[in-house]
Amino acid sequence: MSGENHSPELATLDEVILAFEATPVAPQGLMFVLDFDGDGSPTSCCDCGFRLNSTGRIRGLTIFRPVDEAWLWAGLFRLLERFNYFLVWPGDCGPVLGRRDTLLPEGLSDELGAPVELESADELPRLIAES
């Protein structure tokens, strides 16, 4: 990936929503729903929460109700490629990165295992299923 395509900083809420190519529904405080199809069905929506840093950028994103849909994997991969984020979930998988230069908190690899660098969004459901 070239340097023009990513930033070492964190994303704004608008940049996160743009990465998922979804419609934010009912943003309330630090919660929102991503609706990919616009129909509100359980297979097209994810409940999300986020934490902001002191500059108003998102420092943490939680997906409370993930769906096994390509749009979710593609959006997560876009965020991992462009910004300084990594994924973790319960199971036997180290931090998942979209690029090698992602900064991880000190000791995280010791705690969770070696980082796994994604090459495509298609790898996410496989990694989750295997962990």
Extents of the domains making up the chain: 3-130
In the chain, % helix, strand, coil (3-state, to 5) comes to 30, 25, 50
Q: What's the whole-number mean pLDDT along residues 23-34?
A: 70
**Mean pLDDT for the chain overall:** 83
**pLDDT band at residue 75 using 50, 70 and 90 as cut-offs:** very high
29 pLDDT higher than 70: no
60 pLDDT higher than 50: yes
Question: Distance between CA 110 and CA 43 in Å, rounded?
Answer: 36
The pTM for the full model equals: 0.83
Answer for the pair 26, 32: CB distance below 8 angstroms, yes or no. Answer: yes
Question: Distance between CA 43 and CA 80 in Å, rounded?
Answer: 23
